[in-house]
């Protein structure tokens, strides 16, 4: 069965770092753009960052720009999100999704595959 699995979340202090992973099974990520989303309690799901299938295009939400870095390793069928200088407002469940487009200024679905999410909590 085709699926995405996120991992790497946890509890960190403000200013700390985490690296999230999004691993695909049952299909290849090589042909898919990947987007990281997050959703905090009481808030709408928001896009965090996306990366094109080739990795030559990345887009970041203003709230995470300069702090987060998205990357991919197609040989490992995995996409990563490195999160530095974490803030309490980064606390959320983080999801990855495959599909859609991520190029230049364009960032949109549809997304055919979603992961189950991984919890990131930033707190003292």
Q: Averaged in consecutive runs of 10 residues, what is the pLDDT profile of the chain (124 residues)?
A: 95 98 96 97 96 95 97 96 98 97 89 96 96
Looking at residue 121, its pLDDT comes to 98
Looking at residue 1, its pLDDT comes to 83
**How many helices (H) does the chain have, and how many strands (E)?**
0, 11
44: alpha, beta or left, given left = phi > 0 and alpha = psi -120 to 50? beta
Residue 70 near residue 78, CB atoms below 8 Å: no
The Cα 103–Cα 124 span in angstroms is 37
Looking at residue 77, its pLDDT comes to 96
């Amino acid at each position: 069965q085709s699926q995405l699995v996120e991992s790497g979340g946890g509890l960190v202090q403000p200013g700390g770092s985490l690296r999230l992973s999004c691993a695909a099974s049952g299909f290849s990520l090589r042909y898919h753009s990947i987007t990281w989303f997050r959703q905090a309690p009481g808030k709408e799901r928001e896009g965090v960052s996306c990366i094109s299938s080739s990795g030559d295009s990345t887009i970041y939400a203003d709230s995470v720009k300069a702090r987060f870095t998205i990357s991919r390793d197609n040989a490992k069928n995995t996409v990563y999100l490195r999160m530095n200088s974490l803030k309490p407002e980064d606390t959320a469940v983080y999801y990855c999704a495959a599909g859609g487009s991520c190029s230049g200024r364009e960032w949109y679905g549809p997304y055919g595959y979603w992961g189950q999410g991984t919890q990131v909590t930033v707190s003292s």
